[in-house]
Structure 1
């Protein structure tokens, strides 16, 4: 059920190699993590490179395990190339949302593949609503992931880009509809449920603040 294809293996390998380099080399990690002051200096690469760094081994393991569970549905339904596009666009979309939320906080830093993984989670659920993760329905996992992100945004004390979770989920949801709009008709309840979860959490963020 959870067969890995070559593209997923490459993505996971890249995260492992770059993250472990960051664990061992603080200057490397500082140069490539998401940082508002660095971006304002013109270091736009941080939007991309921060998505391959992680706060610690537990953070890395959780993200890669989640990617492992959900990537198969996306690859199976859309193919390797579209899976990779969703992954990368969700990564960038998540970090762009973080930039919009924190652009006036020059000391704000974050890292992690959470935005990209969120995009794959929502894409996978939309394409295969019946999927389960150890008997837990995939949609429960996905909505729980967004709720976790919302409360993580309120804490902001672990250097993990929690608002990137939300931005990545939105990007993954929209791209999946672009690639396969038929899911609106075949998986209507799931599509409406995921969209409702996104809208509710967006409203909560707007009215309670993102911190």
Structure 2
């Protein structure tokens, strides 16, 4: 983890430059953030541009650090073009899911690369299922798939209970994007990691069951 390929450097630089432009220019921020009403009026550029804006420096730093730690896993195994497909595909799918869940909330808005970054995280877990994560507040390594599943279960909880000013649905949609696109690009995983594919699918299935039941 942590080796930066050129494409990762470009994406991080774009996030930093555009986010800081938004920090100091509210009209720019307002013009390119994700907003349901504006998108429904035809401003589809927001589906992409919102992924390069952030609410504040802490939000930007968290997303870029997460990307920094997991991007090289995807780039090393699949290559930079496939990495880009997963990143931008996850960003768009995350925003599509958010649009679906908030289609009747005209003023709903959001920003951040979280959907794209969560897609890269899920892709990395699929590609390297034996990977473990260390957190400063937990002194033992945690299997990455446990973190991934737990994160999506928390996202479902956050969506259901509207916890915080966080786009939980975009995070979840990004994970779905990373999951589907990675399996499309790396079909050999069905032979080498079938159990992991099944485990990571569980929270995705749960989300749509709860939506069908009207619980979310």
Please give the range of the TM-score, normalised by the shorter of the 2 chains.
over 0.9
Aligned residues: 209
SS at match of 1:133: strand
Counterpart of 2:192 in structure 1 is 186
Question: How far is the alpha carbon of 1:208 from its aligned partner?
Answer: 5.1
Among candidates 175, 199, 204, match of residue 169 of structure 1: 175
Question: How far is the alpha carbon of 1:101 from its aligned partner?
Answer: 1.1
1:34-183 → structure 2 map (5 Å cutoff)? 34-134=34-134, 135-153=141-159, 154-155=161-162, 157-158=164-165, 160-183=166-189
SS at match of 1:70: helix
Question: How far is the alpha carbon of 1:191 from its aligned partner?
Answer: 0.9
CA distance in 1, matches of 2:38, 2:215: 24
Structure 2, gaps ≥5 residues long: 135-140
| 1:161-200, Cα deviation, whole Å (9 max, x unpaired) | 2201111111111111111111111112211100112212
SS at match of 1:104: coil
Counterpart of 1:21 in structure 2 is 21
**What TM-score do you get using the length of structure 2 for normalisation?**
0.91
CA distance in 2, matches of 1:204, 1:5: 39
SS at match of 2:55: coil
Distance 1:187 1:11, change over 3 A: same
**What TM-score do you get using the length of structure 1 for normalisation?**
0.93
Structure 1, gaps ≥5 residues long: none
Question: How far is the alpha carbon of 1:75 from its aligned partner?
Answer: 0.6
SS at match of 1:124: helix
SS at match of 2:213: helix
Q: Is the 8 A contact 1:114 1:162 kept in 2?
A: no
Question: How far is the alpha carbon of 1:24 from its aligned partner?
Answer: 1.6
CA distance in 1, matches of 2:72, 2:132: 12
SS at match of 1:103: coil
SS at match of 1:136: strand
SS at match of 1:62: helix
Cα RMSD, aligned residues only: 1.5
Question: How far is the alpha carbon of 1:81 from its aligned partner?
Answer: 0.4
